Structure 1
Amino acid sequence: MDKSIQYIKSILKTVVGIITLPLLFVACPASAQNTISSSGGAIEQVFDTIKPVTEAGFHGFFQLLDNQPIVFILLSLALGTLIGKFSLKTISLGSTAGTLLIGVLFSMIAQAAYGIAYSIPGVLSSFMLLLFMYALGLKVGPQFFSGLRKGGLAFLVIGFIVWSLNWVICFFGAMLAGLAPGYATGLISGSYTITAILGVGQDALTSGAFIPPDDMSVQQVGANMAAAYAISYVLSTVLTIMLIRYLPRIFGYDAVAEAKLAETDFSGGGTDPVPGAPGALTMTFTSIGLRAFTVTHKSFIDRTLSQLAKDFPEVPILRVVRDGKILNMTTDPTVQKDDIITVRADVHDLIETEGKLIGLESDDPQARNVPIEVADVTMGSHKISGKSLDELRLQLSAGVTVQAMFRAGNELPLGPKTDVLFGDVMRLNGPDAAIQRAAKQLGGHAILFTMKSEVIYLAFAMLVGYLVGVITITISGIPFALGTSAGVIMAGIGVSYFRSRNPNFGGPVNEGARSFLQDFGLNAFVAVLAANVGSKVMTAFGGDTILWIVLIGIAGALIPPLVAFWIGIKVFGLNTIISDGAAAGGRNSTPSLNAIMEESHSSVAAVPYPVSYAFTTVLALIGGYLSMILS
């Protein structure tokens, strides 16, 4: 047995040595080259140096992560996303919590085993977070103002409950536990995951608003704040993500079903994405179809296309194929016997009637391969404004179908008597040439789906949102600001809101690109955060103090959103996903918001988030300053 164990160990050392050898070249090239040169450089002698390489390899690996922060971020993202997918009885961490755990684990091991303290520039994490917030704003923009009208007061109350309970638990918990000055402020900052609270606490120290006891220095109080912050930050971030993710399930609700109800409620009953929103220019189910027929009926033979359009307006001809060639439609050709014509109309009518009227159906690929596009067009003609949809259909170019219609960002029911007014947005589907002609008739131009990026809008909108967020007003030593995150998400909401009323304002959002910015931005932010706080966690371990920090920090992080969520659904009658989103905003926990969006397969939880987020950010800074003074 002992020999078997030794044999297995030798194999593992060999494998680890081979894996870590390339890392040594990157992290410690001189050491790695010396190791190989001392063995004569022969491949067969590599195994003689496996043991020293292995012993140095793990240190080299963590040194690599320190020297190359991008490697740390990407490795944390990959492994965190991987473990986030695993579930136990339908419960899983999700990609954000997984990334945080992997990053913190790497950072703690590096500090404990090798004395390496990772420090990645905060500007990288800040920028990634802002990308996430902007992408999220684009998604929820049209629903945001509807959400304010429906539950603005409830969102503010939920935020206030989260903040006040957190402050009471952390401040009085630290007092009852007999913790030294600084710990209460650090607990509030960490359990609330707002680093800026440490800043206002430090301001209270340096300004003399709080004078430490005779046996303590300002530096010791600051160290207490940092220790309490680091431990409670990591624990509360992970546990809050899990709590917010599963709050609806804890109370017996189906998150996916609840999200669908909330989407219907906040969209005003509309089922189509508003103009400019992700997925807006997607072809939905329609009874209108394309079919090709070989002309044999005498009523079609020797008739021009314009004549046939007058005689059969309900069956527009989109293409004529003769002897394997597609005819030029603009020359108004005359249809001949055995031509293959492509028509677009109600599928039922085409099957029941048109085969008998035109001739046998054809499977000719040239006739059937007519691409159908979807486009939004703004009604820009006063001449036809006020006409009913039925009257307008007769004037629109042949082959175009009205898929949806919007007024002031709200979807209108489609019916023959629905009036079309100047400024309305019509979503048309049909061949590109037909859509372009219809757009000209409507006095607008077609906004088609595009894969082009919108860097100009992104950059300017984020710039404006960021500048608004950094505007600070200081009152009695307490800085008041909207915050860059709230400013940028409002910028995204604004862009999306204006697009819902005028699709010419930047065009449609590509959902794939938007979703990537949202997921990658947040998880990269979390990876950087994990690198920077992991080492601080290690330095805070020791004594009974850490037990109190853990207990108070967890209670301050989890109890407030749990109570606020319950009040939201029981007192205000909010949808559980909406109440959950408001609680996430009240907790200032963006990763938690992402978790409930993953769980509910919807972004509707983000509707109340900016309201409670901005409100509690201000309250949290005031509370942090007061906690330091009252210590």
Structure 2
Amino acid sequence: MILALVIALGIMLGKVKVAGVSLGVTGILFVGIAFSYFGMNIDEHLMHFLKEFGLILFVYSIGLQVGPGFFSSFRKGGITLNKLAVLVVALGVVTTVALYYVTGLPMTTMVGVMSGAVTNTPGLGAAQQAFSDLHAGADAPDIATGYALAYPLGVIGAILTLLALRYLLRIDVRQEEEAAGLGTDVLKDLTTRRISVEICNPAVEGKSISGIRRLALRDFVVSRICRPGEAPELADAATTLRCGDRILLVAAPKDAEALVALLGREVDAGPMMPDRKMISRRILITKPELNGKTLAELRIRSTSGVTITRINRSGIDLVAAGNLQLQLGDRVTVVGPELSVAHAERLFGNSLKRLNHPNLIPIFIGIALGVVLGSISFWIPGVPQPVKLGLAGGPLIVAILIGRYGPHYRLITYTTMSANLMLREVGISLFLAGVGLGAGEDFVPTLVAGGYVWIAYGAVITIVPLLLAGLFGRFYYKLNYYTLIGVLSGASTNPPALAYSTEQTTSDAPSVGYATVYPLSMFLRVLAAQLLILIFG
């Protein structure tokens, strides 16, 4: 009953907005602290189990969500964005260690403050787990207290820093908006662009599309071709091009300019589009037997009479190259006659009902493997104690690996966003309720005895890394402002900051930037919290 009341009242508290900012699910932590302070608590062993089980559910569901996009985020543009995210995390750790030496506070307190300052709950869990392993099951209440005190200003401070960067960098909103829409920074490696080209180069006369692809050394898809005086028709790898032909191609924006220069000149795409015989539709892949197969294996052009132009996975559009492996839940864009598109729909499934059925075997096998991996000790040079990934790091790594490589072995790891979110929210609710109930007795005495100063330390850990990394990303990497604030929000694993960022623009630059760096940032935050406890705690 106490657990249910803490979670229900905490979620209600988290929905209350002050100056447009709310605590979100962290409201559960504060209600748990209040219940514990007034003597309403649960059995210690039960609380310990619920806290750890909730943490496992939470980090495992995060790993499953980010796994498919984790390694693809290290492509050319993604590497630049992830370098900036690593810089944010490193500056946060350096600032925390500096405050540890300046203030003389225990590292347990400082790690709690650091996790709250960057709103990173898995980091809190990892720190508590590391301390427990180090001290034979003992708890450190000041980790949760530091987190609770630093969290509110961690949300507000991040948003205010992003706003301050806008004025410090003298951002021209209109210009940045246009640039974000065109993909003029490293984001151009993570999206696709559709362009219409008229063939003017005699050197490509009579060459097939597959031959031009080998010549250009770039991935692109030609969806339609329009010969002079004829209606648009589908193109495939064997289609030959002649001067005067117009083609509609899809490529990464970074390749578009080179392809246009090779083929001819860019023209208006309008005349290619209003063809009633050709339709374009996004189809959901829901048939398990397609999981892990490449586009080349399917031979979709010859079997269904349609062309696949791009694939949307985890919110990012990918060029439909022949060696690209399909995953359950991908959305493929197909172009072709209506009857052929209907045939392709039957081939791919396009059944939300089938996706809604949960695949529990990978979840529980993954959790078991994650717990085993988290229990293995290994030595890091310079660290006096053996390091364990623990119940936060182990399941997270296994979930990322299963989410990424499961389809290669025909393992269906897809869960719908709603199912993943339910699993994640239940896990985080149990974890925060357990943390709050465990920290309540010491919270008020700590606060009265000078703990309120921790709020200021948290603000420093929030603002300094974001400010320095923001200036570096703008002046060194020349990042678009909207991409930059998305990356900084992702590096802080801060959903409220992302919500603020997306409200500032009509482009999806902040969301793509956030999604690109979030997996690595989450992993590094969990690892950093553990290492700080093991080295200094």
- What's 1:454 paired with? 359
Are the equivalent residues in 2 in contact too, given 1:107–1:117 (CA < 8 A)?
no
Are the equivalent residues in 1 in contact too, given 2:82–2:516 (CA < 8 A)?
no
Does 1 or 2 have the higher relative contact order (CA < 8 Å, sep 6+)? 2
Are the equivalent residues in 1 in contact too, given 2:14–2:26 (CA < 8 A)?
no
> Which of 17, 21, 45 is the matching residue for 1:92?
21
Change (3 A) 1:152 1:104: closer
Change (3 A) 1:513 1:198: closer
Cα offset, 1:488, TM superposition: 3.9
Change (3 A) 1:484 1:244: farther
- What's 1:596 paired with? 497
The two structures have a TM-score, normalised by structure 1, of 0.52
Change (3 A) 1:100 1:534: farther
Give the distance between the partners of 1:203 and 1:396, measured in 2 at CA.
57
- Structure 2 residue identity aligned to 1:460: I
Are the equivalent residues in 2 in contact too, given 1:454–1:506 (CA < 8 A)?
yes
> Which of 473, 482, 492 is the matching residue for 2:378?
473
- Structure 2 residue identity aligned to 1:607: T
- What's 1:530 paired with? 436
- Match runs of 1:576-587 below 5 Å: none
Give the distance between the partners of 1:372 and 1:230, measured in 2 at CA.
46
- Structure 2 residue identity aligned to 1:448: N
- What's 2:460 paired with? 555
- Match runs of 1:491-502 below 5 Å: 491-498=398-405
> Which of 511, 519, 537 is the matching residue for 2:417?
511
Cα deviations by residue, 1:376-434 (Å, 9 ceiling, x for unpaired)? 8656777x96xxxxxx85x444xx64353469997337xxxxxx857776754799996
> Which of 284, 295, 318 is the matching residue for 1:411?
318
- Structure 2 residue identity aligned to 1:473: F
Cα deviations by residue, 1:510-536 (Å, 9 ceiling, x for unpaired)? 333344445554455444433333333
In structure 1, runs of 5+ residues without a counterpart are 1-63, 175-182, 208-221, 272-285, 288-311, 316-345, 352-370, 386-391, 414-419
Report the structure number with the largest CA radius of gyration: 1
> Which of 40, 46, 49 is the matching residue for 1:116?
40
In structure 2, runs of 5+ residues without a counterpart are 116-122, 195-222, 225-230, 235-272, 327-331, 503-510
Cα offset, 1:168, TM superposition: 0.5
Cα offset, 1:469, TM superposition: 3.9
Change (3 A) 1:472 1:156: farther
Are the equivalent residues in 2 in contact too, given 1:100–1:526 (CA < 8 A)?
yes
Give the distance between the partners of 1:136 and 1:164, measured in 2 at CA.
29
Between the two proteins, what is the percent identity of the paired residues? 13
> Which of 518, 523, 527 is the matching residue for 1:609?
518
- What's 1:241 paired with? 155
The two structures have a TM-score, normalised by structure 2, of 0.59
Are the equivalent residues in 2 in contact too, given 1:472–1:479 (CA < 8 A)?
yes
Greater CA deviation, 453-462 or 193-202? 193-202
Change (3 A) 1:504 1:241: same
Give the distance between the partners of 1:513 and 1:533, measured in 2 at CA.
30
> Which of 160, 172, 180 is the matching residue for 2:102?
172
- Structure 2 residue identity aligned to 1:173: T
Change (3 A) 1:506 1:613: closer
Are the equivalent residues in 2 in contact too, given 1:259–1:604 (CA < 8 A)?
no
* Secondary structure at 1:116 match in 2: coil
> Which of 102, 107, 113 is the matching residue for 2:33?
107
- Structure 1 residue identity aligned to 2:26: L
Give the distance between the partners of 2:133 and 2:414, measured in 1 at CA.
46
Give the distance between the partners of 2:312 and 2:499, measured in 1 at CA.
31
- Structure 1 residue identity aligned to 2:87: V
Change (3 A) 1:151 1:82: closer
Change (3 A) 1:251 1:514: same
Cα deviations by residue, 1:307-348 (Å, 9 ceiling, x for unpaired)? xxxxx9989xxxxxxxxxxxxxxxxxxxxxxxxxxxxxx975
Are the equivalent residues in 1 in contact too, given 2:294–2:324 (CA < 8 A)?
yes
- What's 1:75 paired with? 9
* Secondary structure at 1:448 match in 2: coil
Cα offset, 1:540, TM superposition: 2.2
Change (3 A) 1:548 1:270: same
Number of residue equivalences: 414
* Secondary structure at 1:404 match in 2: strand
- Structure 1 residue identity aligned to 2:146: S
Change (3 A) 1:455 1:92: same
> Which of 113, 120, 127 is the matching residue for 1:191?
113
Give the distance between the partners of 1:234 and 1:616, measured in 2 at CA.
17
Cα offset, 1:164, TM superposition: 0.8
* Secondary structure at 2:15 match in 1: helix
Give the distance between the partners of 2:467 and 2:66, measured in 1 at CA.
25
Cα deviations by residue, 1:103-146 (Å, 9 ceiling, x for unpaired)? 414532x345x433466331243134224413431574464332
Cα offset, 1:235, TM superposition: 1.4
Cα deviations by residue, 1:161-200 (Å, 9 ceiling, x for unpaired)? 11011110132123xxxxxxxx332331221235555676
Cα offset, 1:234, TM superposition: 0.7
Give the distance between the partners of 1:492 and 1:422, measured in 2 at CA.
24
